[in-house]
């Protein structure tokens, strides 16, 4: 399958507080390039891998150092029983294929939500929604297990009871140093809890990532505004790889994968359907913006407590 590349190598826009010449001190072509992949996962794991691998190889060909895949990049099952049946441990065959892919392409991978059979699988018969970071050698350098599970009933979108098959993760993961910057890990529904993003930025995050599978009702209403809010309040880049389209007869996703800069500007966006978009990460711009708008120095924990305690 040949995907249309949705590419916007957009430089971060200047604004009145930070003049453009000041905000970008180096050539944009020297800045790290990230790729955001948008897919339509189905219950067919091998076809899903083929789709994702094609996008990852295209990202590598275009010079990206880090490619982001959405939540449930491995598969989206029709019901909890199928989800549990298709799940694998981190040491299983599917993650092995992604390990080889990262090594082959020589780039880092953010695998945004793997259906993981954990060490407690035999006892619980439930899984974790696990965000895995692979380096360019194919080694697992970080794992974050989704802490906020999506148990909601939205009129017009159908019920979602993630806890029927999934266990909430026990902890946050400190930001991961990557060639693009320090990446803070989250997954989908986590975006509705700003305490998580505040904890990650206070631990040093420069990029927040929200791999997702937003629905057709919450997507148009909340997706972009939540992503931009997280970027503005933390003064981080936000990278959001999303599922799109109809996965099977029971489920569809909103799509609209995007990258947002610390000023809240959407600097890259995928169009409809599977594909990818590209963005450059300018950490000098991020640092200068934080210097000129030092919101974290102005917080008043004496009045409202410490929201988002720093990670240990």
| Catalytic residue check, 250 | no
Q: DSSP secondary structure string, 165-199?
A: TBPPPSS--PPEEETTEEEEE--GGGGG-HHHHHH
Which residue in the list 37, 88, 130, 146 is annotated as catalytic? 146
Which residue in the list 71, 88, 173, 206 is annotated as catalytic? 71
| Catalytic residue check, 182 | no
Measured between alpha carbons, how far is 143 from 76 in angstroms, rounded to an integer?
A: 20
- At residue 226, φ and ψ (nearest 5 deg) are -65, -45
| Catalytic residue check, 81 | no
- At residue 134, φ and ψ (nearest 5 deg) are -110, 140
Which residue in the list 150, 188, 270, 277 is annotated as catalytic? 188
Q: Which residues are part of the catalytic machinery? A: 71, 146, 188
């Amino acid at each position: 399958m040949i995907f249309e590349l949705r590419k916007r190598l957009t430089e971060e826009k200047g604004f009145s507080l930070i003049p453009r010449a000041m905000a970008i001190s180096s050539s944009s072509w020297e800045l790290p390039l990230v790729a955001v992949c948008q897919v339509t996962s189905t219950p067919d794991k091998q076809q899903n891998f083929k789709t994702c691998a094609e996008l990852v190889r295209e990202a590598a060909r275009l010079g990206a150092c880090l490619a982001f895949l959405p939540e449930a990049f491995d598969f989206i099952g029709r019901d909890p029983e199928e989800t549990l049946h298709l799940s694998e441990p981190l040491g299983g065959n599917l993650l092995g294929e992604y390990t080889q892919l990262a090594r082959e392409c020589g780039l880092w991978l953010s695998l945004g939500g793997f259906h993981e059979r954990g060490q407690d699988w035999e006892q619980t018969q439930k899984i974790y929604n696990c965000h895995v970071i692979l380096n360019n050698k194919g080694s697992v350098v970080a794992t974050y297990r989704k802490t906020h599970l999506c148990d909601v009933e939205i009129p017009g979108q159908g019920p979602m009871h993630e806890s029927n098959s999934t266990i909430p993760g026990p902890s946050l993961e400190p930001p991961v140093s990557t060639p693009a910057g320090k990446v803070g890990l989250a997954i989908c529904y986590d975006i509705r809890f700003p305490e998580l993003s505040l904890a990650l930025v206070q631990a040093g995050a420069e990029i927040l990532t929200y791999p997702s599978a937003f629905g057709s009702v919450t997507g148009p209403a909340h997706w972009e505004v939540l992503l931009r809010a997280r970027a503005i309040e933390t003064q981080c880049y936000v990278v959001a790889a999303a599922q799109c389209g109809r996965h099977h007869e029971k489920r569809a996703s909103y799509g609209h994968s995007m990258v947002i800069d610390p000023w809240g500007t959407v600097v890259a966006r995928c169009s409809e359907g599977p594909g990818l978009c590209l963005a450059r990460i300018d950490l000098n711009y991020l640092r200068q913006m934080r210097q000129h708008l030092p919101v974290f120095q102005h917080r008043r924990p004496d009045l409202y407590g410490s929201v988002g305690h720093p990670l240990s």
